[in-house]
Amino acid sequence: MYACGHPDRFGTPILRVSEVSGIICNLLDDARLQQIWVRGEVTNYRNHASGHRYFSLAEEIGGRSALINCVMWRSYAFDLDFEPANGMDVLAMGSVEVYEPQGRYQLVVHELLPAGRGERHLLVERWKRELEGEGLFSPERKRPIPRFPSRIGVVTSPSSAALQDIIHVVSRRYPVEIVVSPTAVQGDAAHLEIADAIRRVDGLADVIIVGRGGGSFEDLFPYNHPDVVRAVAACRTPVISAVGHEVDVALCDFAADLRAPTPSAAAERVVPDRRDLLQEVRGYRDQMRSLLLQRLNSVEREVGELRMRMHPRRLARRIDERMQQLADRKGDLRRAAAARVRRDRLRLAEVRAQLEGKNPLAILDRGYCIAEKNGRVVKTARELSPGDRITLRMKGGRSGAVVEWMNRDEEV
């Protein structure tokens, strides 16, 4: 919103010039006026010393004239590959902006093309959006290129320099069979021939190169056609796209499994270099030779050691050493066994002495006897009464007795 000045005597707001210019700027920010393509006839063309290009685009329709001023700044004009001229039918891409110091709007041009070529550029952009929407450019669809193909299919003109470059590179690096599927590479019906040539060679080779040499945008246009892109995407065989030079980009590049900047580069990528392979094989050979020599040396050492061990004199000496060890071991075992027997005898004597000391019959040897009543040992005088029949057990036998009197210690 812009602040309004004082109203006039009728109540109408009075705007400043800058306010009007700001309102126009806001209106021209409409997305419909940004990054648009405009077709018209060049008039009032001027190539300024600064490098900027100033001109207008005009159109006559229904007896009326329409005109829009244009400017192409030096940074954009630097990429022009043709020189515009008054009366030329062109396509201009840019955005409408307001030049506030002079209060006028103009189209700031970013890209300028002759009308015919420009329309084809727009067509390619539309095709690109459609094919991308079909998923034909998805990275997940890309397949690896075989490292050692036995047969290569080439879709190009049989008389082209591109084919000769491919044959030369392949024969020099890694000679394999090349199957050519001939086709026109430019012209109004070239896209039909290219698509058909791709389908013909599909399945007859391990990898397919689709390409041609450099040329103008119009020359390379068939490789942007949806028929060619869909044929590449439908291929069962991995495809390398090699269209034009490194700076050239065609829609079939996005559908192919690999893009090469030139046909020669495609040939270099489709086969290995036999010199590199030979060097790699030599490396493996040297490595195997080194490992084999190491193994032979190790086995030779092992055989020598075995031979030394199996020598008669060395073997007899080893047997004598083992016999001596056994004899020494036998003597050690005998000494250890004798010492163990002595220890066991001493221990047994100690145990026997302890048992004999606790034997109740041992006192009989010292002149004592044991009185028994009714088969039980008499331990105290209280257990006996005059007239009791007892058995006296003494060393060497037993005898019977009758108690005639009793004199208990507590009665004394």
For 313-358, how does the pLDDT look when each residue is reduced to its tens digit (9 = 90+)?
A: 776 777 778 888 887 888 788 888 888 888 888 888 888 777 766 6
Domain contains 171: yes
Evaluate whether residue 184 is within a structural domain: yes
Residue 261 sits in a domain whose CATH number is 3.40.50.261
pLDDT confidence bin for 393, thresholds 50/70/90:
confident
Which pLDDT does position 199 carry in this prediction?
96
- 159 and 110 fall within a common domain: no
Nearest Cα neighbor of 90 from 65, 68, 105 is 68
Pairing of strands 207-212, 376-377: unpaired
If asked whether residues 266 and 186 sit together in one domain, one would say: yes
Least confident range of 71-75, 235-239, 351-355: 351-355
Judge whether 330 lies within some domain.
Answer: no
Domain match, 196 and 264 both: yes
Confidence (pLDDT) at 377: 84
Average pLDDT over residues 35-58: 90
In this structure, the answer to whether residues 242 and 174 fall within a common structural domain is yes
Give the structural domain span for 379: 361-405
User: What average pLDDT does range 39-59 have in this prediction?
Assistant: 90
Q: Are residues 182 and 252 in the same domain?
A: yes
151 CB-near residues (< 8 Å, 6+ apart): 176, 177, 178, 179, 204, 205, 206
State whether 110 and 56 are in the same domain: yes
- C-alpha 52/C-alpha 117 separation (Å) is 23
- Predicted pLDDT at 110: 92
- Locus of tokens 């001596």: 324
pLDDT of residue 64: 81
pLDDT for the residue 118: 67
Same domain, 158 and 265: yes
Residue 367 has pLDDT above 70, yes or no: yes
Any domain includes 318: no
Kindly indicate the confidence band of residue 3, based on its pLDDT and cuts at 50, 70 and 90: very low
Is 186 in the same domain as 264?
yes
Total structural domains in the chain?
Answer: 3
* Domain presence at residue 344: no
Residues 165 and 267 grouped into a single domain: yes
| Last residue in a domain, options 255, 271, 287 | 271
Whether residue 160 lies inside any domain: the answer is yes
Average pLDDT, the chain: 85
On whether both 106 and 188 belong to a single domain, the answer is: no
Among 217, 245, 271, residue at a domain's last position: 271
What confidence category does residue 108 fall into, taking pLDDT thresholds of 50, 70 and 90?
Answer: very high
Question: Residue 127 falls within a domain, yes or no?
Answer: no
Last residue of a domain, one of 241, 271, 301: 271
Asked whether residue 124 is domain-assigned, the answer is no
Instruction: Looking at the structure, tell me whether residues 35 and 88 fall in a common domain.
Output: yes
In this structure, are 106 and 159 located in the same domain?
no
